[in-house]
Amino acid sequence: MRALSAPVELYILRHGEAGKRLATGSTDSKRTLTVTGEKEVREIANALFDLGVKLDFIATSPLARARQTAEIVAKKLKVKKGKFELWDELKPEESRLALYSKLELFKPGDSVMVVGHEPYLSSLVRDLVFDGQGGGRIALKKAGLAKVNVTSLRPKAKGELRWLLTPRHMKRMQEES
């Protein structure tokens, strides 16, 4: 078993509100954030900044709405060039096992954000927290954020849920600070 000497801080962010699905035959991958979605993501980025969150790396689904979400956060948190990548493993239909292989590249103590889609991300949180046993139900709202301290990736991914926040929670936290 590959237990980590210190957890990898994994921030799991669902993209903000996106435009409606377009007519049949159009590409879902090109849907962008709405004005409301951009505003929510900026509020989340500001709240993360106010909390002193520092990210070593951001990986995002290449779909437009996720990429935009990740770019807003990266800009606010000043994520260095070369520490931001598009990962096909974060597309909605991809395998989480492939994602776990990529996450193994990080060192204990690293702080990493992944940005993607539902229901993929809620399943990711559930796998990590409930040891792949299918227990519990987790729903990541649009622009919702989870923080999981990942303690192991093989033979099973394991972690401890630290946060599960909606955009409303983040906005309140920012108003109170």
pLDDT tens string 13-57: 999 998 776 655 456 778 899 999 999 999 999 999 999 999 999
CATH architecture of 8-20+29-176: 3-Layer(aba) Sandwich (3.40)
Residue 1 has pLDDT above 50, yes or no: no
With CA atoms as reference, report the closest residue to 112 among 44, 176, 57: 57
The per-residue pLDDT for 138 is 86
The one-letter amino acid at 154: R
Which residues make Cβ contacts (< 8 Å) with residue 41, sequence separation at least 6?
A: 15, 16, 33, 68, 69, 72, 73, 143
CA torsion, points 54, 71, 138, 105, in degrees to nearest 10? -60
Mean of pLDDT values over 73-90 = 96
pTM of the complete model beyond 0.85: yes
Lowest mean pLDDT among 59-73, 91-105, 108-122, 153-167: 153-167
